[in-house]
């Protein structure tokens, strides 16, 4: 059997869509599973819309994902115009295509195009996902294959490129299924061998509409900018429209390659689920915890403008651990910072007097008295200062005075937030001296009449 060669052929007319990455991934997995090769091709014959910035985005995206292509030289359609031109002229000479005089319907429209002579036959092919597909091409008429001998359109250039690159299997989105009969007719006119096709289901939004900007991020760069891990994105994309023969959901790339079977790709559209993506990403963060914690530390230093030389390492390590437990992706750290949910570990919080009230009840001088009692109990502690021993020290007093009336202001004094870890955890991280100092500041704040 000939070596399997697949390809991904994006047009550089916009930033790389996440759905297109899924098509590329399936092509990559199929080739690697079968010991074949995977090629990347830039389809840039649309001179008006193609931009170098989009091509760079495509290349950078695949390098980041690790979906490395096997062709030594990147294949660009714009480098092969002479090949297309010679073949178009050949088809015209063989009377398989002709220059068609057109009646322009609007200003600027061409008066001449090149059309393929349609044999008006039924085209039948076996799609590796959808099964046998049969189309009567009569309705297509003599369709356009080029604007001029030097300007092939998508269908023609696509067929020629696949032949020139030795592609054996075309794995692409379902939206291209209707293009296949035209492309098979072009193959036959050029005398090319037939290819194997697999049209994978579309990626849909929750309302089953096409995934678009209104549902959130759609380009690969947006997902990477939000701090999703490359391996998590690929893992999640693989599960959109494909399922393994077992219940496993978290995969490394070698595991995906081993498990992937084109026969297990579903026919119906795959629904995008951001919550599932977050879960998959968190599982990969757990698998790469040390790397994740280093990244969290890096983001904290940058967003909080911290000086590494002045931060207690034990405090930093504890905060990193708390942040790790609360995020699914690295951009979640920015939200924590925006909501002041980590700053209190490194600086005294900004209090509001009403924030000390448990369910809006109590007098400020009474709260100050309770905080003073807590401060004295903690100040008298000796030896091991941990969340367990802190709780053992404070709990009897909280039980006596009412847990909410003691523990709520205790926690608020340390964090300045309505929601935060319990006060014993915070106190352990801040250490005894800082905890006592912060309680004294809170007491002064509450007893200040101004």
Q: Which segments are annotated as binding site?
A: 213
Show binding-site residues for ATP. Answer: 213
Distance CA 202, CA 259 (A): 21
C-alpha distance from residue 98 to each of 62, 112, 123, 149 (Å): 40, 10, 22, 10
Which is it for the CA torsion 59, 294, 275, 29, positive or negative? positive
Pairwise CA distance, residues 179 & 250, whole Å: 35
Backbone angles phi, psi at 112, to 5 degrees: -140, 140
* 87 close to 157: Cβ distance less than 8 angstroms: no
DSSP 8-state secondary structure symbol assigned to residue 77? G
**Angle (CA) 327 204 62, round 5°:** 65
Query: From CA 320, how far away is CA 177, in angstroms rounded?
Result: 49
Strands 196-200 and 169-173: what pairing?
parallel
Report strand pairing: 203-204 vs 270-271.
parallel
CA 222 to chain centre: 7
Q: Which residues, 6 or more positions from 388, have their beta carbon under 8 angstroms from its beta carbon?
A: 424
**What are the tokens at 336?**
């924590």
Contact 97, 145 (CB under 8 A): yes
Would you tell me how many other CB atoms lie within 10 Å of the CB of residue 73?
6
Cβ 143 vs Cβ 116: under 8 Å: yes
From the list 276, 97, 267, the residue with the least C-alpha distance to 190 is: 97
Q: What is the DSSP string of 320-371?
A: HHHHHHH-SSTHHHHHHHHTTSSGGGTS-----GGGG-BTTBS-HHHHHHHH
Can you tell me the distance from the alpha carbon of 38 to that of 71, in angstroms, rounded to the nearest whole number? 8
């Amino acid at each position: 059997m000939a070596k399997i060669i697949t390809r991904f052929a994006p047009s550089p007319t916009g930033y790389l869509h996440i759905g297109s990455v899924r098509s590329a991934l399936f092509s990559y997995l199929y080739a690697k599973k079968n010991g074949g090769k995977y090629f990347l091709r830039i389809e840039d014959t649309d001179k008006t819309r193609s931009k170098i910035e989009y091509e760079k985005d495509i290349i950078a995206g695949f390098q980041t994902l690790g979906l490395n292509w096997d062709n030594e030289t990147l294949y660009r359609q714009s480098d092969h115009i002479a090949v297309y031109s010679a073949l178009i002229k050949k088809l015209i000479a063989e009377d398989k295509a002709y220059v068609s005089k057109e009646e322009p319907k609007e200003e600027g429209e061409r008066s001449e195009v090149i059309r393929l002579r349609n044999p008006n036959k039924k085209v039948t092919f076996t799609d590796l996902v959808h099964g046998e597909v049969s189309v009567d091409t009569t309705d297509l008429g003599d369709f356009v294959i080029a604007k001029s001998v030097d300007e092939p359109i998508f269908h023609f250039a696509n067929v020629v490129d696949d032949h020139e690159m030795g592609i054996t299997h075309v794995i692409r989105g379902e939206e291209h299924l209707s293009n296949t009969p035209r492309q098979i007719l072009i193959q036959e006119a050029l005398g090319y061998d037939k290819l194997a096709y697999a049209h994978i289901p579309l990626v849909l939004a929750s309302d089953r509409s096409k995934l678009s900007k209104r549902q959130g991020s759609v380009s690969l760069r947006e997902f990477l900018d939000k701090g999703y891990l490359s391996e998590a994105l690929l893992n999640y994309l693989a599960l959109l429209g494909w399922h393994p023969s077992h219940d496993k959901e978290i995969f490394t790339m070698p595991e995906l390659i081993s498990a992937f079977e084109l026969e297990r790709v579903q026919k119906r559209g795959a629904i995008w689920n951001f919550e599932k993506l977050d879960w998959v990403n968190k599982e990969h963060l757990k698998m790469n915890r040390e790397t994740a914690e280093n990244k969290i530390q890096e983001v904290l230093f940058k967003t909080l403008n911290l000086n590494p030389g002045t931060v207690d390492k034990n405090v930093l390590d504890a905060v990193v651990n708390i942040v790790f437990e609360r995020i699914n992706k690295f951009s979640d750290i920015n939200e924590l910072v925006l909501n002041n949910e980590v700053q209190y570990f490194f600086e005294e919080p900004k209090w509001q007097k009403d924030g000390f009230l448990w369910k809006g009840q109590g007098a400020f001088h009474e709260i100050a008295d309770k905080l003073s009692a807590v401060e004295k109990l903690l100040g008298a502690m000796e030896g091991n200062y941990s969340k367990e021993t802190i709780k053992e020290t404070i709990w009897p007093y909280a039980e006596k005075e009412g847990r909410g009336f003691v523990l709520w202001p205790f926690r608020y004094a340390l964090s300045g937030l309505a929601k935060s870890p319990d006060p014993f955890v915070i106190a352990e991280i801040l250490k005894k001296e800082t905890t006592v100092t912060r309680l004294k500041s809170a007491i002064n704040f509450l007893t200040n009449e101004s």
